[in-house]
A = this chain, B = another copy of it.
Amino acid sequence: MAEQFLTADGVAPLLKEIRHNPLLWLLVLVPVVLLAQLFKPEAHVLLFVLSVGAIVPLAALLSRATESVAAKTGDMIGGLLNATLGNLTELLIALAALRAGQYVLVKSSIAGAIVTNALFMLGASFLVGGLNHHVQEYNRSNARLQAGQLFLATIAMLIPSVVVGADTTFTQTLSMGLSVLLIVTSGLGLVFELKTHRELFTSVDHAESDEVEWPLVLALATLAGVTVLVALVSEVFVESVQQAATALGISPTFVGFIIVALVGGAAEMASALSAARKNRLDLSVGIALGSAVQIALFVAPVLVLLSYLIGPTPMDLQFWRGAVAMMIVATITASLVTNAGRSAWFLGVLLLIVYLIFGMTLYLLPPRI
């Protein structure tokens, strides 16, 4: 079939998508940032801003390509692909930071992604949905499953932080063991969701159907190409972020927790909000909580295990206590709020205000804490 080779014709859906989606026009920043890095390696603030601007459309393309591949490969493998590659942008940024040994950035971006997904993305979806619809109902089985997994992951991340006076060996062995348990849980969760009890989660699976599907070969090529680009731009981002933050007077924690999380999740945010507007809150909740669960149960432990291979030293799962507290509060809040299976705009406000409280605290924190 013609689809087997990527011809000029085959690229047509991609170009059409770019023409119609203004967000993707930002792709022009990708070559700009790579050139700027080459010729102006010391302009940290410029590089930081450009790389942020370049990652957002790349992340959107990446998630679009992943979905297209998933749609072509059937429900099981598709679900598996979405689950592993759904947060590829976050993973690539974190990998760049891991290679550079910036473990504080890695950890705050993990914690921040969980909190941002569970509070900001969910809250914005509820608010946007609620402004367009009086009361919205959604399948709470899925919300409960995700909240339960998220709760388990925050417990796992709590433990190394509360065991006081333990030595490094203990923390590292424990983090290793916890990472294995988290990945196992994540795998069993997929078996539950995609195989043994898929009938409980149907409304979420078949929701993305109003987009034109890409041919498989285009989707795969985009996936591969964009992954390389995200990896390159992430390098620039990670190298510039520290000094840019200092120059702009922002604490590195704020950058990792809030900015990286918002940048990395921009594409999913767009999907979640659009679904909420169309009264498909099932999908919004699935994206927001599902993404938080992926970061917590898959990305974070994979980074811990990879740190033994590519990091300067092994990374553990010991977070600073404030981050742990915020993850726990975010999880409990999301769990309480999704418990009823109904939503109105004020629930979104509550979630967003909790996120604002966290953001404000991190912004005001003196840099050296």
Contact = CB atoms under 8 A, between A and B. Distances in A.
Interface in A126-172: 134-135, 144-145, 147-149, 151-152, 155-156, 158-159, 162-167, 170
Interface string A245-257: 0000000000000
Contacts of A158: 325, 329
Contacts of A340: 144
A38 interface: no
Contacts of A360: 174, 177-178, 181
A192 B345 CA distance: 8
A164 B181 CA distance: 31
A156 B358 CA distance: 9
Contact of A346 (B164, B173, B189): B189
A170 B346 contact: no
A170 B350 contact: no
A35 interface: no
Contacts of A347: 148
A333 B197 CA distance: 22
Interface size on A, as a range, is: 35 or more
Nearest to A357: B156
A358 to B, nearest CB: 8
Contacts of A346: 145, 188-189, 192, 197
Interface in A327-369: 329, 333, 335-337, 339-340, 344-347, 349-350, 353-354, 356-358, 360-361, 364-366, 369
A321 interface: yes
A227 interface: no
A364 B170 contact: yes
Overall SS of chain A's interface:
helix
A185 interface: yes
A366 B170 contact: yes
B322 A162 contact: yes
A174 B364 contact: yes
A209 interface: no
Contacts of A163: 322, 361, 365, 369
A60 B197 CA distance: 36
Contacts of A185: 349-350, 353
B177 A364 contact: yes
A336 B192 contact: no
Contacts of A192: 344-346, 349
Contacts of A4: none
B337 A148 contact: yes
A196 interface: yes
Contact of A159 (B165, B335, B350, B357): B357
Contacts of A170: 364-366
Contacts of A173: 364
Contact of A361 (B159, B335, B364): B159
A184 interface: yes
The 4 closest A-B pairs by CB, nearest first: A192-B346, A177-B360, A185-B353, A159-B361
Given A173-B364, A178-B357, A192-B349, 11 more contacts: A147-B336, A151-B333, A158-B325, A159-B358, A163-B369, A166-B365, A170-B365, A181-B356, A184-B353, A185-B349, A335-B336
22 contacts: A145-B346, A148-B337, A148-B347, A149-B350, A152-B350, A155-B333, A155-B354, A163-B322, A163-B361, A165-B369, A174-B361, A177-B364, A181-B353, A181-B356, A184-B353, A185-B350, A185-B353, A189-B346, A192-B346, A192-B349, A197-B344, A335-B336
